Amino acid sequence: MRLVWTVKLAASAVAAVVVVLLWALAAGVTLLVPLAVAGVLTAVIVWWPRARYEHWSFALGPATLELRRGVLWRSETSVPYFRIQRVDIERGPVERRWGVAELRVRTAAHAGDARLPGIAETDAEDLRRTILTRASDDTTF
């Protein structure tokens, strides 16, 4: 998943650098500006996906699905299995290329969704079924 995020981030970073480069050429500003931007973005590309990945975890607890995410602004979400309405599997083009998928666990609340990214494609369906099974015969309370 780190790879996927790196690729996505790198793509937007390259686009940003190109924009800055064009602007620098057009405005006649020294080329040091786009160079500096590129440097900062490279550092971000190396650091951010790693940090994001390390701070994004989930666990199937006895009664709830637990999700922790966020590097600076962190959140810990507990979704009780009995409230789960739907589990979707989502894959974008980049995700498909590297064989990963994102599971979206949905409840009746708009704000109650939990996203589990970076699940191996082969495991996604199993995990989905596991969660749904727990959702339908939850007797933990």
Partner 1 sequence: MPAAGLAPRRLHPVSPFVGALGLARRQFLPLLLALFAGRNVGPFPIVLGLILTVGVVISVLEYVRRTYGIEAGAVVVDEGVIVRRRRVVALERIQQVDAEAGLVQRLLGVVTLKLDTAGGGADADVTLSVVSRAEADRLRAFLRHAGAGVGLVAPHDEGKAEKAEEAEEDVLLRIPPAELALAGITSIPLLLVLTAFGPLTELFEERVDAVFGWIETTAEGRPPVAVAAVVIAALSALWLGGAALASILSYGGYTLTRRGRDLHVAYGVFNRREASMAIDRIQAVRVHENLVRRRLGRAALHIQSGAIVGEKTRLVVPLLPAAAVHDLVEVVLADVEVPAGALEPAPPAARRRALLRRMLPAGLAAAALVAVVPAMPAVAIAVLVVAVAAYDGELHYRGLGLGTTASVVVGRAGGLARETVIVPASRVQALRIRTSPFQRRARLATLELPIAGTGRTPTIHDQLELRLAQVAGAVLPVSAADERRQRAASGSRAD
Footprint of partner 1 (CB under 8 A)? 63-64, 70, 72-80, 82-83, 107-112, 114, 138, 140-141
Our CB check for partner 1 shows the closer of 64 and 95 to be 64
CB of 89 to partner 1, least distance (A): 20
CB of 115 to partner 1, least distance (A): 12
Our CB check for partner 1 shows the closer of 12 and 78 to be 78
CB of 109 to partner 1, least distance (A): 3
SS3 64: strand
Give the residues across from 65 on adjacent strands.
60, 79
Cα radius of gyration rounded to whole Å, the chain = 20
Our CB check for partner 1 shows the closer of 41 and 67 to be 67
DSSP-assigned letter for residue 71:
S
Q: How far apart are CA 7 and CA 12, in angstroms?
A: 9
For residue 141 the two structure tokens come to: 């309370």
Our CB check for partner 1 shows the closer of 27 and 76 to be 76
β-strands 100-106, 86-90 pairing: antiparallel
The letter for the amino acid at 67 is L
CB of 110 to partner 1, least distance (A): 6
